[in-house]
Structure 1
């Protein structure tokens, strides 16, 4: 005879996996905020960090991130938070405090289980001042609506269809970092064409020389002087 432990039943053993699955789904798929995680002084915190950083410190931003009305600001904050995390690992003790303050302003994005970055994302190099300005702008755009919308469909970053687009021409410090698709082919192209051009030029010269050379048995007309040719031209007129 089998005796069950107190408080345990076959029904409990069936319900427990379901409860765990439902809890896991809420923890990974939910991306909503009942209270605003964005403070009222985020702009001052970002400005303070910016005043201590080299303005032309190179970072990268996504050039072809989809401009989604609901998710766009959140996606850009996800990328910015990753950069702040990288800087914290190489900064000094005083700079780490400033970076930690900015990270506190944007770390709420880690409460949502975002998918790994898609391989279609393309990045261009810009400077840290532009990244911080954009971060402040995205927080300002997101603050009035973050508690009124559900961002659960934003857990996967989306790329724009078609070729990657560049930031506007007026974006400070932004520049494209293209990589030649076939640099070796471009180097070999002149060396491949030059022998063909030389062979074509030699063949053309040989054909012209052959036309001028009389064949065997052909009579060569005597050369006439310019004085003999002058009456002939007069007669022809």
Structure 2
């Protein structure tokens, strides 16, 4: 029985080393914040029942460098869920707003510990916070170190949960 050439054992190791290690930094080569976001938001708002419930995180750690990016991440997830049930007139408006937030998906935000707790809020609250979070990113550097992994406050006893514990983080 012939043994494989000595260099063959090195190939799998080199392939393993070539796989990029997930980064904890999210950065953009261009400014991802669209200047037309408010216009898309204003077109969408009259179409929504402003007491429509959406799931949003309730226990993320405040972080001056990451909170806005995290808020946009969860806002985009809520809008995607809405798009899944939207009618033919509402879907294009949601799609336009989601296109403005598509850059957040490039960050591959994760909840590796499964710590995010969701609570139901009105879509009107979601729309307000989306505008605030997008405004919070304007004029900032395009580098968000340490923002890929979500960080949560420790669970408090008696904190209500929607039972929606799942992987909605990404």
Q: How much is the aligned-residue C-alpha RMSD, in angstroms?
A: 2.9
Structure 2 residue matching 1:99: 3-state secondary structure: helix
How far off is 1:160 after superposition? 1.8
Where relative contact order (Cα < 8 A, 6+ residues apart) is larger, the structure is 2
Could you report, residue by residue, the CA deviation over 1:137-174 in whole angstroms, capped at 9, with x for unpaired residues? 100111211xx24224111111124628x9xxxxxxxx
Which of 147, 150, 154 lines up with 2:147 in the alignment?
154
Which of structures 1 and 2 has the bigger CA Rg? 1
| Equivalence for 1:144 | 139
Q: Which has the higher helix share?
A: 1
| Equivalence for 2:32 | 37
**TM, length-normalised to structure 2:** 0.77
Structure 1 residue 128 corresponds to structure 2 residue 123? yes
Structure 2 residue matching 1:125: 3-state secondary structure: strand
Q: Which has the higher strand share?
A: 2
| Equivalence for 1:219 | none
Which 5+ residue runs of structure 2 have no aligned equivalent?
1-6, 164-170
Superposed structure 1 runs of 4+ greater than 6 Å apart: 176-179
2:53–2:123 Cα contact (<8 Å) kept: yes
1:125–1:177 Cα contact (<8 Å) kept: no
**TM, length-normalised to structure 1:** 0.57
2:118–2:162 Cα contact (<8 Å) kept: no
Structure 2 residue matching 1:50: 3-state secondary structure: helix
Name the CA distance, whole Å, in 2 between partners of 1:132 and 1:108: 18
**Are the structure 2 counterparts of residues 117 and 77 from structure 1 closer, same or farther at C-alpha, using a change threshold of 3 Å?**
farther
How far off is 1:177 after superposition? 6.5
Structure 1 residue 63 corresponds to structure 2 residue 58? yes
Could you report, residue by residue, the CA deviation over 1:97-122 in whole angstroms, capped at 9, with x for unpaired residues? 00011101111111012223643322
Structure 1 residue 102 corresponds to structure 2 residue 100? no
Question: How many residues are aligned here?
Answer: 155
Structure 2 residue matching 1:94: 3-state secondary structure: coil
Structure 1 residue 82 corresponds to structure 2 residue 77? yes
